[in-house]
Amino acid sequence: MSANRRAGSKKKPASKARASGTKGARSRAARKGASGAKSKRASTRDPKASLFSRLLRLVLLLAGLGLGLLVPWTLWLNHLITTEFEGRKWDLPSRVFARPLSLFAQMPLTASQLERELEAAGYRRADDAGQPGSWSRSGATFDIHRRGFRFDDGFQEALRFRLTLADGRIVSVRDAVGTSLGLMRLDPAEIASIYPLHEEDRTLITIDQAPDLLVQGLQAVEDRNFKHHHGLDPRGIARAAAANLKAGRTVQGGSTLTQQLVKNYYLENDRTLPRKVNEALMSLLLEWHYSKAEILEAYLNEVFLGQQGNQAIHGFGRASEHYFGQPVERLQAHQVALLVGMVKGASLYHPRRNPERARERRDLVLASFEETGLLAPGEAATWQARPLDVVAAGARSSNRYPAFLELVRDQLQRDYREADLRTEGLRIFTTLAPFEQQAAEAAVTHGLKQLAERGLDPELQAALVLADSDAGEIRALVGDRNPRRRGFNRALNARRQVGSVIKPFIYLLALEHPQRYSWLTRLEDEPITLTQADGQRWAPANYDGQSHGSVSLLEALVRSYNQATVRLGMNIGLNELLRKLQSLGVTRALPELPSTLLGAAEMTPLDVTQAYQPLASGGFAIALRAVTAVQTADGASLRRYPLRLDPVPQREAIAVLNYGLTQVVEQGTAKALPGLLGQSVTVAGKTGTTNERRDSWFVGYTRDRLGVVWVGLDDNRPARVTGSNAAMPLWAGLFRQLPLQSVSLDLPEGASWRWVDPLTATLSQADCPGASQMPFVTGSEPSTRSNCLEQQEQDADSFWRRWFDRD
C-alpha cells in the first residue's frame, strides 16, 4: 500500500495528463499566434512614421545640445557686450596744429600770402563769407569768417571781420559793423595727426553736439523703426528681402542701426552664418542693456565715412572736419545729407572722387528728409541747388610736413610716451608757419632743379631750417629734395662738416677781447703748419690757393681767409671755441682738433641754426622749439613751453660781429646775394664750403628770420658745390618770398660807431679820403688820429682862434 501511494504520488491519472497536455498545447499555440499577430502588425507599420520618430528624437537631442551650448555662448556675448561697451574708449590720434596767424594793422602781409594761409587752415572761398570757415575777396579787401577755436589761453568765438591790404601791409582790421580791431587771431591749420597703430582717425562727439537733423535724419534714412525695435526689425528685414527679390539684386539692407554698430564695433566683416547669428544675439543684448541714446552716440562715433591715405575716417565728428573743415555742430542741411548718404557706401559716394554720384545720393537723402517731415515742403529743393561745399583735398590732409613733424615728435618724447601720443587725442600746438613752410619747400624743389640745369649733379640733396630768431621758434623745416617724402630727415640727422660757417664764432671770441682785437687788427694770412693729435701734419690753404699777407680782422672774415683764421683761432684757443659754441646752445661734441677751426666738424643744419640764433637775435640765447603747448582732447591745458631768454655775456661783441657779417654779403664771399634777392635789404650772412667741394652751406638772417641751407650728396662724394653756388641760391629763393626787414645794426651799451681809416687803423672823419664807419667794442677803437682828422681839427682850431682874435 505504501508503495502504491508512493507510486501514485509520482504518476498522474491518464485523464488529467491528457487534459494538461491539451491545455499546454493551447497555451503555446496562443503564444505563438499572438507573437505571429504582433509580428504581422509590425511588418505592416508606415515606414515614414518610423523615420519621423527617429528624426524627432534627433532634433530633440540636438536642441538639447544646442541649448546647452547657446546658453553659455549667450552669456559670453553678454559679458563681451557689457565690458567693452561700458568701458569703451576709442584710441584717438593726437592733432598737431600750426601757429595761429595773428593779424594787425601795419603787419607785413601780401594778398597771396594771406590766401595761402587761409587755404592751409581749411578755409573755403565763397561768394559771401556767411559761414565760419569761409572767406571772400574784393580787390584788396578780404571778408573772413573766423571759426571758433579752443586755444591754450581759452576759447575764441567765431567772428566775421574785414581786412584791407595795401603795399604789402595790412591797412585795417575791422569787425562787421566797422569797429577797428586791434588784433585778430585766426584758428590754426591742422597740419598733422599722430595716429594709433590701427590707423583709425576720429573726433569724438556727444549726441548733444550732433545737429538734430543728423540724429533724426540718420534714423529716417538708415532705420526708421529705430525707436521701436529691440535690436532686430523683422518688418525691415522682410521689406528689404521683398525689394531685393523684386530687383533681382541687393538694393536695400534690413540691418538696424544697432546691428550696424555691432558689426562695426565687435565683429569681422565676413558674411558667414555664425557671424549673422552673433550679430543678431549681440544686437538684442545691446538693446537690452543700453538706451537708444547711448547706442546712437556710439554709432555716430564709430561709422566708417571714408579713407585718407592709410587712415580710415570714422565718425561724423571727424568726417565733418575732413570734408567741410567744420565742427559737426555747424553743419548745414545739405552737408548733413551728404554725410548720411555716405553711410551706405563711403567709397562709392566719396564727394571728391565721385562728386556726381555723391550729389545724386545727397539729393536723394534730402528728399527723404522732406518726406519724413524733417525739412519743410519745398526746402529740399533749396538745399539740392547748393554745391557739395567740400573743402580742398589738401586743406585737412594728414602729415603734410613730415620733416617738421619728426622734430615735433622728438621734442614731445621728452615729456610723453609714444602710446600717449598715439591714443590720448592730445592737441599739440606748434610753431610752423604754413606760408613760410610752403615757400621753403618751393625754394628747395625749384632751387635744386635750377642747379641741375646749370650742370650740377641732379642727385643733390638739400636741407633747410627757417627760424624766428627773436622767439626761437622753427617756422619751416625741409629734410629732403622731395619735401613730402618721409624717410631720412637731413635737417635733423645729416651730420656734415660745416666748413667756413664756423668761422664767425672765432671772430666773435676775438671781439670779446677789446684790448687785443678790433676790426682793424692786423692778421697774417700766411702758410701755417700744425701737428694734429694723431701726429699728422696739417697745412691749411686758402680757397684761391694764395696767401694774402697782412690783412685786417674784418677783411679776413669777409674774404673767408683760412690761414688768417687758423692763426687767430690758435691764438685765442681751440678749447675757447668749443666752450663758446656750447654756451650758444650747441650740445653736440666737436673734435678738439685744429682742423675744427675751419669747420672740419660735423653738425646738422638744426645744430647750425641753434648756434647762429643768439647772433641773429642780438645776443639772446633761446633753445629752438617746435612745440608751444599741449592740451588734452577736451581742451584742458597739459603743458606749456614758454619762451626763455638767456642774455649772452658781452652782447656788444655780437652786435659788432653782425656788422662784419653784413659786409660778407655786401663785398665778400656772398656778394652775389643782393642780386639774387632782387631787393634792397641789409642781410647778415656766411657761406661755407668743405674739402673737395662736398658740402655747400649758407647761413643768413634779417631782422627777424634766420635761415640755414645745406646742399650736398648723401654718399659724401665731391659735388662741385660751394657756399655761394648752391646753398645761397636756395636761401635767396626762400627769402625773396618773405616780407623782409633789414637786420638790426643798433648797438647796445658798450659799443659805438666810429669813422676810421682802415689802411692806417686810425680815427677819421666822414669827409676824409678812404674813411669808413664801423662799430667797435668800447676800448677797441683806435686811439690815434689820421692825418686828415688832425688837419681838420687844426683847421677848426685855427678858425676859432681867428674868430676870437678878431674880436
Please list the active-site residues.
222, 500
| E-only strand ranges, 657-729 | 684-689, 695-701, 705-712
* Contact in structure between 337 and 365 (CB atoms under 8 Å): yes
SS (H, E, C) 155-192: EECCEEEEEEEECCEEEEEEECCCCECCCEECCCCEEE
> Which candidate, 699, 687, 698, 703, places its Cα nearest to that of 739?
703
Q: What are the cell numbers at 426? A: 592730445
> Which candidate, 213, 214, 265, 259, places its Cα nearest to that of 236?
259
Helix (H) or strand (E) segment spanning residue 774: strand 772-777
* Contact in structure between 661 and 560 (CB atoms under 8 Å): no
Half-sphere exposure at residue 695, Cβ-oriented, CA atoms within 13 angstroms? 29
The DSSP letter of residue 101 is P
Burial classification of residue 442, based on how many CB atoms lie within 10 Å of its CB (0-12 exposed, 13-18 middle, 19 or more buried): middle
In the block, cell 686810425 appears at 762
Q: What are the cell numbers at 770? A: 678812404
Q: Which residues contact 507 (CB under 8 A, 6 or more apart)?
A: 553, 556, 557, 568, 657, 660
Distance in angstroms between the alpha carbons of the first and the last residue of the chain: 212
Residue 756 has phi, psi (to 5 degrees) of -140, 165
- d(C-alpha 40, C-alpha 36), whole Å: 6
Name the amino acid, one letter, at 554.
L
CA distance readout (Å), 139 to 166, 176, 644, 656: 10, 18, 42, 45
Q: Which residues contact 438 (CB under 8 A, 6 or more apart)?
A: 116, 120
145: Cα separation from own chain's centroid? 24
Q: Which residues contact 39 (CB under 8 A, 6 or more apart)?
A: none
Long-range CB pairs of 443-446 (<8 Å, 24+ gap) are 443/730, 443/731, 443/733, 443/734, 443/737, 444/478, 444/481, 444/483, 444/730, 445/481, 445/482, 445/483, 446/733
Sign, CA torsion 247/250/251/255: positive
